Structure 1
Amino acid sequence: MLHKKRLSMAVSAAIGTAFAMGMTPVNAQEEAMVEEVVVTGSRIQRANLVSSSPVTQLDNEQLRFTGLNRVEDALAAIPGISLDQSSGQAIESIGTATMQLRNLGTTRTLVLMNGRRLPANSPQSPSAAADINLIPGNLIQRVEVLTGGASSTYGADAVAGVVNFVMQDDFQGVELDYQYSGLRHNNDGNLIADAAEQAGQPFATGTTFDGETTNVSLIIGGNFDNDRGNVTAFGSYREIAGVTQINRDYSACPVRDSLTCLGSATNESGSIIATDPDSAGGNFRVEGNQLLPGFGPGFNFAAPSFLQRPDERVVLGTFAHYDLNEHVEAYTELMFMDTKSTTQFGPSGFFFNPTEVNCDNPFMSDQQRDVLGCQGPDDVVDLVIGRRNAEGGPRFGNFRHSTYRGVFGIRGDLSDAWRYDVSYQYAEVDMNNRNGNYFDIDRFPQAIKVVEGPDGTPVCAPGADDGCVPYNLWNTGGVTREQTDFLEQRFFEWGTTSQEVFMAFAQGSLGEYGITSPFAESGVELVVGYEFREETLKFDGSDNVKRQGTIVETAGRYDVNEFYFEANIPVIEDVNFIQSLSLDVGYRYSEYSFGPTTDTYKFAGSWAIDDNLKLRGSVQRAVRAPNVVDLFRPEVGSLYAMDRDPCEKSNPGDALSRSGYSFEQCARSGVTQAIWDQGGPQSNPASQYNSVVGGSTELQPEEADTLTAGFIFTPSFAQGLTLSVDWYDIEIEKAIQGVQPETTLLQCIETGNPLFCDAVNRGLNDSLWLGQSLLEPNSGGSAVDERSTNIGFLATSGVDVEITYNFDIGNLGTINIANIAGFVLSFEQEEFPGAGVIDCEGTYGGPCGFPIPELKNRMQVTWATPWNVTGSLIWRHVSGSDQEFTDVPNDLDDMNYLDLAATWEVRDWASVRVGVNNVFDEEPPFVYQGVTARENGNTFPGIYDPLGQYLFAGFTLRY
């Protein structure tokens, strides 16, 4: 959180190493020098950073040793943090970077800069989380991570905790920083490469170096008017090259539990389902000018997809403050960010939508007409067609987000007893996306209705759009560029999220009025405040996709008025076994314009027995009202991962489905007798099925109870050693989330409960993937409804252990060891009332989703030598996870990474740094395609290193 008064660089360093990730505790002499600062999790200024709630910290130097240009990647090693939107996402990407605490979701993690909220990342986002791209890395003074509820201090969204970026706002001088980095991997073969070779798919061999990144930043700052003010201006530019999945042997093709390359039935040859009653029926593929039984080879949709998205980012801004007089300091924060990121994945196509074809199509052979049941040239037959637009190239999305943020405020001391802070903040995110190489599903039926023209050449049938080019579906190699150009569709998306915050609070040192405990000398500290916040969202798209229901225009806003107070009450001081005993209390009342009111509170305490041992604990009620995305997210079609349709049978004559369900059970989900007799609904070869997502204005606040208890041990017999252990327990009721589509489907089949069966709409051939993602009955579409509701339950508990040890090694300098370990003791969830609680710690897949490791550890050893060289060794550990809820589990092993880096202070004004992360080029653990969301490239990029070694080199010039 924001410093209220300037600190000397020496004192800042002492503070930064006093707590959590620090090197040594602040001793009494140093503490006397420290001016009051604010601790994340409270608005009360204190004389040290010892908090009643656990706070983990990384400072600027520790971040620079990682060499990572994306701040979110550097923070992912902290045990409590995992990434949601990351650079390793392709088809699920929206071009932003978001993270979460305790695996409780991005919507329950509040991200702050200098103690103030950041705006929602994108109007098309599934959450209102902040985009970490906005953070200028080189200007970070420290990152404080409070893992526990903090809604009474900051309002909604702080259920799981707070990540607060404390920026350096009093820089003096000029600093130019440049870094170049890249990715290296030795493709020496694995089971995915073996599967690709067996399937005749290309895969990478030998050593690759790619994903180059250039990052340059400039900081200029200085004091003025006899040090009454400071202006710090900064700018940075980053460019990252993309890496496609074909460039790694472990992501060459998507692999399922059969350990064979998985491909989409929407393939290059053309897959045709004949549904006309006069046809031969069944599935066919085009070979030459014939229709042969069965779908063609599955299309490898993963190869062109990005495993690292290319992006380009510009960040500009200034921090300034000026003492108008002894009672008023004016300050401002002005920032602008522009990011461009590109996603790329498999070519588009006509994804098994129903259509019809005329039997006098000149491209068709007599054999094809016979198979389709044509009786004469004037006949029209009904088909379901899957044809990949391989000739047109991969789909792409160019994401652009421009963020504007301004803070204007005044603060100061009214008297010896009272100080104040009043500020206004406005932030806006403008999104403009361009998507290309999509198939126009409205034009495709026109292009395949082909007749013979007056001169004997094929032409589109009357009624087609001007410029229609006949599409030759019926002959291998018959599709030309002119044909794909007519069917190529580009569409655009645009929108805005905005945030307006007015905040005013005052802190009173009531000890000045004699309000103290009879057993303490320090007085009561009180903060009272008011906050007004307005959030808006607007989203729209071009007419061509709005007609198809893929994009729905939406707009919404809400505001909230909040009143709060906090108090720090020293209860007992300087008696035997009680050096200090204090109580922290807080309360916040919130009134939302869409109806609900909420009450949040906290009770926390700390007990310093002596200089060696401090105990702390807290009880908090955190309340998260639905945010602007929860309320107004448009209802649109989406995809979810599922191995196979549970009602598919191995053979048409079987009495039960492959999953053991009877016809009576499957009929509850919409399976008809005719389809059941034919073998049940077909599974999607790509393991992807349709769903509908969206927000709801009927949502109510969710509630969470958070407990923490721990201690800090700084033994006098081991100077430089600090140990902190903190236990946490978080329980969330009425959680805002959608029931997973697979759960909805299975509950419908097993129970027949209308709550679930009404959310299942089987489309063509009773499938859940043929046709568009439409829920309306008799629409021909198929989908499972997963729109947000208030029925979830989440609970997690664990222990965080931090050890730091700083010691001299004689004439060879000093060693600092800083270790953070996070143990997840339990992670329980219940998707809906009565579903039963599921234990998800140490597991992944099914309702548990992505992995929740039982242990994550980050240890950093830093050696400051007497030769102006500082070396760093980081060990990162992620414990293994077992796959559940599947017939063929694929368990993930423990992963260990070593990172090496060094800086050399060449001169007082120049330093260089080099490093390599993932020294041993560890491949990420393999997971099945479609096992859960956020899987990409047969792994989880937000948890593991997805690309091999990361090498970097850079320099810093200071004047």
Structure 2
Amino acid sequence: MLHKKPLTMAVSAAVGAAFAMGMAPVNAQDEQLVEEVVVTGSRIQRANLVSSSPVTQLDAEQLRFTGLTRVEDALAAIPAISLDQSSGQAIEAVGTATLQLRNLGSQRTLVLMNGRRLPAGSPNSASNAADINLIPGQLIERVEVLTGGASSTYGADAVAGVVNFIMIDDFEGIKLDVQAGQFRADNDGGLVAGAAERAGQPFATGTATDGDQYDMTMIMGGNFDNGRGNATAFLTYRDIEGVTQAARDTSACPVRSSGECLGSGTNQSGSWIIGGTNYRTEGNEFLEGRGPGFNFAAPSFFQRPDRRTTMGTFAHYDINENVEAYTELMFMDTKSDTQFGPSGVFFRTFDDLNCDNPLLSAQQLGVAGCTSPDDRFSATLGRRNVEGGPRKGALRHTTYRGVFGLRGDINDSWRYDVSYQYAEVNMTNRNTNYVDLIRVEEALNAVVNDDGTIGCESGNSECVPYNVYQTGGVTDEATAYFSQVVYENGRTTQEVLMGYVQGSLGDYGIASPFAESGIEIVAGAEYREESLTYGLSDNAARGDAGGFGVPVPVDGRYDVNEIYFEASVPVIEDAPLVQALVLDLGFRYSDYSTGNTTDTYKIAASWDINDDIKVRGSYQRAVRAPNIVDLFEPDSAGLFAMDRDPCNKANPGDNLSLSGYTFEQCARSGVSRAIWDQGGPEDSPAAQYNSTGGGSTELEPEEADTYTLGAIWQPSFIEGLQLSVDYYEIEITGAIQGIQEETTLLQCIETGDAAFCDQVNRGQLDTLWLGQASPTNGINAASTNIGFLLVEGVDVEINYNFDIGDMGTVNIANIAGFVLAYDQEEYPGAGVVGCEGTYGGACQIPTPDLKNRFQATWATPWNVNANIIWRHVAGSTQEFTDVPNDIDDFNYFDISATWAVTDTATLRFGINNVLDEDPPFVYQGVTARENGNTYPGIYDPLGQYWFLGGTIQF
């Protein structure tokens, strides 16, 4: 493979240099260097506070006090982080856990383990994000979160920043850890419960205790060969029970801006469109008008059941004084179940129904226009298969990851690190309780057999008539006949070969004339190959599975050759007002097999004025080339949220739509005169409309300019206090993203621009929701390179350790994130929209203008550590809607404690969301990632959570 040759030669040269340049012993200065922290964002070893880029850190103890078994949930309290895929997703779930920085999308957040990238978590994900499920929580030593571009150090995905998990790799002894937890919530009524009561829908009352969580970890490790090596092995198991939305009064039914329960037009009674008129099945008649909407929310999960097993080992061994071999071997198997409203026939048109069907009453035959038993008629049917139960998916991801490397000192001045890593994620999904539309069509045509029984017109003896013509007429046998299973499978692979050397040029006298310390440099090369395959069973590919999108099988790959360079240049040292001024430089050149080449670079500086005050700043050009998902994401059908079709009219006599549009404007989007005169396209009862989208091999890299400026204050007169303030700005041009479907529709109506109108495809009765989404029924939202994003904010961190006499010590850690601006422009000329402190419309999920995490820990003299965490999320204003629904400020309080019972045994207990705060109410389907009338990735959706755990270590 030609692309490998440059890198292979570079890595070989680095390895050869390790041995050719001698086996000099490690001196004391080098030993001190190895002990220093390699800060996320650079491969040059240094002390943490000298970093020229802002890095937020949580250590193992801080994470343990949260009691959360899902690592992503514990990190969500960090102001810079919000969750993308989380356990609170139902119909949008792909079975992974992903996070994003600055609300810029998980595809722009690079997740690392020990400074090395993790693989794409799933082949059916909408991003290339790593699955946080792979991270064994008890093995985490600390988590470092870097703001701003780090593409020059790590590659394309680090536009918004980096989340780096530093793992324990030198454990000695045996550690057993077990924890159990459970949710508790008071269902005491409210807006949603009131709406459910008025609609005759069931809703939860009283106190709920559910969502049990169990987590077990075993770690074994030890040194060997007189301390020259260490091997740390681990095994974890997690079991989490599911919670449905029916178990909470806040999610009893989907509620939209009307304040009433809404439901799907694909309902339980059966909705028909015959001759352009809506009918419903009632008794054995077709009556005009739709039946009551179906409550699709109640059976959906608010917390998905989850079973996860991880195992692996971290090991390193000093072959000699100059060569250390190391490895990371990891395996994960995770199973996550999805569940949501039953499948059905989603307004499919059947053009050849028989009029001699004995299941049709005389009244129904009249509505169908049947005048003779030999006649045929056409009808569109929407009916929920409630008899078959909810749709279910058994999502399984199996991940293998291996890292093998050599590192060490070439001589007193040079060190090296060469490694190879391979990762593979295999995905399977068994989707059950779907409807075979081919068999449904066969089963709708019933006849009287020669023996007087009722069978199918096809003559198939296995076919059971589908009696949707009578209330309660559907039999279990009919449901079993057309029930089907849909299978998905896929794989992502990642292969990385990299090597770099770090040199201390000061040993050769290369240094600034104003500094004693010399220049440190890193030079390296990297080859990375990524692949993605995705397939599905034939029934889904044909579009014959009712209620299942129609993704296209994919098989794609790309590779990239990269070279990079870093330098840390001490410019001035020990001068008046300049204790140290260090300049950091970085550059990376990337050559992609897709034909793209990119240059990324950084210029950063840190200025130590004295022991108390440090100033830092950076400018970075971060370039994100299209990742494997951007390029090869399956073209698939889905749904998007919209309060109403802007071309719907209040009544047929109006000349304008409810939104004020004329017929001439709505005709641009495909509305016919006949439908307009009847009242315009009908609104979706569930406020969900059809959408299609996918990746593209024509995408170009997106570019981002990142600026940071900050200061660190460690006053010598207040021992233990540390304060940092950092400003950041991230501006992305040519962003890879799709235009929001509602934006496309409105621009088509208002301007008639073919670029928008060509993406709007109205289906039956000129609606955008009747029938399953397809390229000819819905709005295309495929990814393009036209977006603009700008995020600006300030992070403030305070850490303070102090003694309280004989009562022990207290540690206070506070992280506050202020969002000053979140601007976006969906396409050139659209106009910039400010999304800070808002949500909805083009802004999508909330971007609170303030998030704060306060943690205080009291280490008592009685072997007990007490802890309190305060989580604050500022309110958000809903924009782009006629009936706004604003979100108030939210405050959560978590308490916990650990007790060292003996030298080897520790107990811990805690309660999160002590006050049992209900999640904020938002309209159902208002944007993506909404579930259960709220945002589970931002707020606590299930109420109070308690946990009890214990650790034995010896």
- Equivalent AA in structure 2 for residue 420 of structure 1: Y
Q: Counterpart of 1:38 in 2: which secondary structure?
A: coil
Distance 1:33 1:387, change over 3 A: closer
Aligned partner of 2:582 in structure 1 is 582
Correspondence for 2:871 among 873, 876, 881: 876
Return the offset for 1:36: 2.8
Q: Counterpart of 1:919 in 2: which secondary structure?
A: coil
Return the offset for 1:579: 0.5
Return the offset for 1:102: 0.3
- Equivalent AA in structure 1 for residue 550 of structure 2: T
Distance 1:32 1:694, change over 3 A: closer
Distance 1:463 1:753, change over 3 A: farther
Correspondence for 2:540 among 541, 545, 553: 545
Aligned partner of 2:380 in structure 1 is 384
Aligned partner of 1:461 in structure 2 is 457
Aligned partner of 1:108 in structure 2 is 108
Tell me if structure 1 keeps the 8 A contact 2:33–2:45: no
Do residues 937 (structure 1) and 935 (structure 2) align? no
Correspondence for 1:451 among 437, 443, 447: 447
Aligned-partner Cα distance in 1 for 2:32–2:799: 23
Aligned-partner Cα distance in 1 for 2:452–2:429: 43
Return the offset for 1:930: 1.5
Aligned-partner Cα distance in 2 for 1:34–1:442: 66
Return the offset for 1:769: 1.1
Aligned-partner Cα distance in 1 for 2:79–2:953: 34
Q: Render the CA deviation track for 1:298-335: whole Å, top value 9, x for unaligned.
A: 11000000000001000000000000000100000000
Do residues 121 (structure 1) and 121 (structure 2) align? yes
Aligned-partner Cα distance in 1 for 2:340–2:199: 20
Aligned partner of 2:268 in structure 1 is 268
Aligned-partner Cα distance in 2 for 1:688–1:48: 49
Aligned partner of 1:206 in structure 2 is 206
Q: Counterpart of 1:73 in 2: which secondary structure?
A: helix
Aligned-partner Cα distance in 2 for 1:245–1:389: 19
- Equivalent AA in structure 2 for residue 178 of structure 1: V
- Equivalent AA in structure 2 for residue 896 of structure 1: N
Q: Counterpart of 2:273 in 1: which secondary structure?
A: strand
Correspondence for 1:946 among 917, 941, 945: 941
Aligned partner of 2:19 in structure 1 is none
Aligned-partner Cα distance in 2 for 1:221–1:259: 58
Aligned partner of 2:390 in structure 1 is 394
Aligned partner of 2:694 in structure 1 is 694
Return the offset for 1:35: 2.4
Do residues 55 (structure 1) and 63 (structure 2) align? no
Aligned-partner Cα distance in 2 for 1:773–1:955: 50
Aligned partner of 1:170 in structure 2 is 170
Tell me if structure 2 keeps the 8 A contact 1:34–1:48: no
- Equivalent AA in structure 2 for residue 154 of structure 1: Y
Aligned partner of 1:535 in structure 2 is 530
Aligned-partner Cα distance in 1 for 2:210–2:825: 43
Correspondence for 2:406 among 382, 404, 410: 410
Return the offset for 1:381: 1.2
Aligned-partner Cα distance in 1 for 2:807–2:34: 30
Aligned partner of 1:312 in structure 2 is 307
- Equivalent AA in structure 1 for residue 365 of structure 2: R
Tell me if structure 2 keeps the 8 A contact 1:419–1:506: yes
Q: Counterpart of 2:749 in 1: which secondary structure?
A: helix
Return the offset for 1:462: 2.0
Tell me if structure 2 keeps the 8 A contact 1:34–1:47: no
- Equivalent AA in structure 2 for residue 364 of structure 1: L
Aligned partner of 2:68 in structure 1 is 68
Tell me if structure 1 keeps the 8 A contact 2:737–2:784: yes
Aligned partner of 2:226 in structure 1 is 226
Map 1:3-402 to 2 at 5 A: 35-275=35-275, 281-356=276-351, 357-402=353-398
Return the offset for 1:376: 1.3
Aligned partner of 1:473 in structure 2 is 468
Q: Render the CA deviation track for 1:618-659: whole Å, top value 9, x for unaligned.
A: 000000000000001111111111111111111011100111
Correspondence for 2:915 among 914, 917, 920: 920
Correspondence for 1:860 among 845, 848, 855: 855
Aligned-partner Cα distance in 2 for 1:813–1:375: 92
Aligned-partner Cα distance in 2 for 1:909–1:915: 21
- Equivalent AA in structure 2 for residue 108 of structure 1: R
Tell me if structure 2 keeps the 8 A contact 1:855–1:879: yes
Tell me if structure 2 keeps the 8 A contact 1:318–1:333: yes
- Equivalent AA in structure 2 for residue 129 of structure 1: A
Map 1:380-779 to 2 at 5 A: 380-462=376-458, 467-548=462-543, 550-776=550-776
Return the offset for 1:372: 1.8
Tell me if structure 2 keeps the 8 A contact 1:39–1:49: no
Return the offset for 1:32: 7.4
Tell me if structure 1 keeps the 8 A contact 2:527–2:562: yes
Do residues 838 (structure 1) and 833 (structure 2) align? yes
Aligned-partner Cα distance in 1 for 2:775–2:559: 32
- Equivalent AA in structure 2 for residue 727 of structure 1: Y
Q: Render the CA deviation track for 1:905-924: whole Å, top value 9, x for unaligned.
A: 00110000000000000000
Return the offset for 1:48: 4.3
Map 1:803-822 to 2 at 5 A: 803-822=798-817
- Equivalent AA in structure 1 for residue 796 of structure 2: V
Aligned-partner Cα distance in 2 for 1:476–1:443: 21
Aligned-partner Cα distance in 2 for 1:456–1:749: 56
Tell me if structure 2 keeps the 8 A contact 1:35–1:47: no
Return the offset for 1:772: 2.5
Aligned-partner Cα distance in 2 for 1:639–1:499: 31
Tell me if structure 2 keeps the 8 A contact 1:203–1:252: yes
Return the offset for 1:34: 8.1
- Equivalent AA in structure 2 for residue 827 of structure 1: Y
Aligned-partner Cα distance in 2 for 1:35–1:928: 52
Aligned-partner Cα distance in 1 for 2:876–2:835: 10
Aligned partner of 2:13 in structure 1 is none
Which segment is superposed worse, 541-550 or 190-199?
541-550
Q: Render the CA deviation track for 1:149-175: whole Å, top value 9, x for unaligned.
A: 000000100000000000000000000
Return the offset for 1:764: 1.1
Tell me if structure 1 keeps the 8 A contact 2:442–2:458: no
- Equivalent AA in structure 1 for residue 535 of structure 2: D
Aligned-partner Cα distance in 1 for 2:750–2:502: 58
Aligned-partner Cα distance in 2 for 1:262–1:35: 60
Aligned-partner Cα distance in 1 for 2:486–2:211: 28
Aligned-partner Cα distance in 2 for 1:58–1:441: 52
Return the offset for 1:774: 2.0
Q: Counterpart of 1:45 in 2: which secondary structure?
A: coil
Aligned-partner Cα distance in 2 for 1:855–1:442: 53
Tell me if structure 1 keeps the 8 A contact 2:648–2:680: yes
Return the offset for 1:287: 1.0
Q: Counterpart of 1:66 in 2: which secondary structure?
A: coil
TM-score, normalised with respect to structure 2? 0.96
Identity of aligned residues (%): 69
Aligned-partner Cα distance in 1 for 2:36–2:57: 18
Q: Which runs of 5+ in 2 are unaligned?
A: 1-28, 544-548
Which segment is superposed worse, 36-45 or 602-611?
36-45
Q: Which runs of 5+ in 1 are unaligned?
A: 1-28, 276-280, 777-781
Return the offset for 1:33: 9.6
Aligned-partner Cα distance in 2 for 1:35–1:825: 38
TM-score, normalised with respect to structure 1? 0.95
Distance 1:463 1:654, change over 3 A: farther
Tell me if structure 1 keeps the 8 A contact 2:798–2:814: yes
- Equivalent AA in structure 2 for residue 378 of structure 1: D
Which segment is superposed worse, 442-451 or 858-867?
442-451
